[in-house]
Amino acid sequence: MTNIAKGLEGVLFTETKLTFINGTEGILTHLGIPIQEWAENSTFEELSLALLEGHLPSAAELAHFDAQLRANRAVPQQLLDVIAAYPADVNPMQALRSAVSHLALFDPQAEETGEAARREISVRLIARMATLIAAINRSQLGLPPVAPRPDLTHAGNFLYMLKGEEPTPEQAKLFDIALVLHVDHGMNASTFTAIATASTLSDQYSTAVSAIGALKGPLHGGANEAVMDMLDEIGTPDRAAAFITAKLDAKEKIMGVGHRVYKYFDPRSQVLRDYAAHVAEKEGKSLYYQILEVIEATVIERLSSRGIYPNVDFYSGTVYSDLGIAKEYFTPIFALARISGWCASVNEYERDNRLLRPDAVYSGAVDAHYVQLQNRK
């Protein structure tokens, strides 16, 4: 019997120097540097550049990249008009997938696929993803888009374009950390999809559109939205312990808990948890945060002995909600961060490209013959 690697688990198809994960020990590194150090010292802009270039940038390289991002934030008015014409009640990921596809139509370089062109387009994709998501959100609320501000950071400008008012430095920093934590995560489904598309030598926008399509599925993005549904259902902190206990006794899964790779604390979840706790201490604990604290304690008590811990989605939903972001936008925000990882992974693979073309074991009919339509039952 031929072995089939269902879900491609354990199949190695390429080498990467970008991201390393050890799920048993809860380790995640980019360029060998622990995610905790990136979150503590770096920014979304710097990690994006580091992954695109494969090394920690110099101050001059970072300043240049940052300036490029800031200069490339605006999208054509025609595209904003197209977004405004989308039906208001569509899934924001559907709108984002369409908007990125439309974005390609306005980029004269879109069809170029060499290394230099992919690198240049990556900058525009990273910069403009934020503008598109903010414009979609506002359009769905019946509001006009807010033009990007070049004096703000990527995270700060996104929150500004979303709300129309400048975030506090703490809010911008918290959101930046959340972005840093989501930039890349090894050979996940959307990154693999992006690479599969690029391996045909298709263009950079098509890789992003393919990846957004993969991220949209509930088995990939979207778990943090489910966490917020659960928090809404629980309602108040005093109900949380009994709610979770009843679910676990009924052998039901708790959203935002457990991970296919991590059988220990997801290091990203701890960073986000610690920073959220820091903000809560400074600005007061939100209702969501209070419920989360109780769930966390109950889950750790009941499940940690089995290697099941709260994952990054457990905390990110609360962080985003406390920043005033609607839960339907959590997956687009995942894309906002992951676009850098997609671009970096595609660009790395393309340097030594080989068309992806796996195989399947044939288990269908043999020796069959065509039957004329009128003779079929």
30, 182, 185, 259: the active-site residue: 259
Neighbour tally for 141: CB within 10 Å: 10
Residue 176 annotated in active site: no
Give the one residue of 184, 203, 296, 313 binding ligand COA; rule: CB under 6 A: 313
**308 lies in the site for ligand COA, by CB under 6 A:** yes
CA dihedral 82, 345, 274, 154 (to 10 degrees): -40
Angle among Cα 218, 223, 226 to the nearest 5 degrees reads 105
**d(Cα 343, Cα 98) in Å, to the nearest integer?**
18
Is residue 220 annotated as part of the catalytic site, yes or no? yes
Distance CA 189, CA 217 (A): 10
Instruction: Establish if 316 lies at the interface with ligand COA (CB under 6 A).
Output: no
**Is residue 260 at the binding interface for ligand COA, with CB under 6 A as the rule?**
yes
Minimum CB distance to ligand COA, residue 328 (Å): 17
Question: 116 or 219: whose CB is closer to ligand COA?
Answer: 219
Residue 300: half-sphere exposure toward Cβ, Cα within 13 Å: 11
Smaller CB separation from ligand COA, 150 or 217? 217
Position 47 contacts ligand COA (CB under 6 A): no
What are the beta bridge partners of residue 33?
30
Distances (CA, A) of 136 to 98, 117, 357: 11, 27, 35
d(CA 207, CA 193): 8
Active site residue 203: no
Instruction: For the CB of residue 338, give the shortest distance to ligand COA in the complex, in Å.
Output: 13
The active-site residue, picked from 107, 176, 184, 313, is 313
234 touches ligand COA (CB under 6 A): no
Pick 66 or 266: Cβ nearer ligand COA: 266
Q: Rounded CA gap, 91 and 322, in Å? A: 22
- Spell out the residues 6+ positions from residue 360 whose beta carbon is closer than 8 angstroms to its own: none
223 binds ligand COA (CB under 6 A): yes
Which range in 102-110, 148-156, 257-265, 342-350 contacts ligand COA by CB under 6 A? Answer: 257-265
Q: Is 239 in the site for ligand COA (CB under 6 A)?
A: no
Q: What radius of gyration, in Å, describes the C-alpha atoms of the chain?
A: 22
Binding region for ligand COA (CB under 6 A) out of 83-91, 276-284, 305-313, 333-341: 305-313
Query: Measured in whole angstroms, how far is the alpha carbon of residue 69 from the centre of its chain?
Result: 19
Strand order in the sheet with 19-22: 19-22, 27-30, 33-34
Least distance to ligand COA, CB of residue 223, Å: 3
Work out whether 104 is an interface residue with ligand COA (CB under 6 A): no
Q: What is the DSSP secondary-structure string of 176-210?
A: HHHHHHHS--SS-HHHHHHHHHHTTT--HHHHHHH
Nearer to ligand COA, 239 or 260 (CB): 260
Assess 49 for contact with ligand COA (CB under 6 A).
no
Residues within window 192-221 making contact with ligand COA, judged by CB under 6 A: none
- Specify the residue, 188 or 204, whose C-beta has the smaller distance to ligand COA: 188
55 binds ligand COA (CB under 6 A): no
Residue with tokens 């080498």: 15
Can you tell me which of 28, 129, 230, 257 binds ligand COA, judged by CB under 6 A? 257
Tell me the residue nearest to ligand COA as measured from the CB. Answer: 258
Partners of residue 74 on adjacent β-strands: none
Given 256, 267, 317, 332, the residue binding ligand COA (CB under 6 A) = 256
Residue numbers annotated as active site: 220, 259, 313
Which residues in this chain contact ligand COA in the complex, by CB under 6 A? 223, 253-260, 308, 311, 313
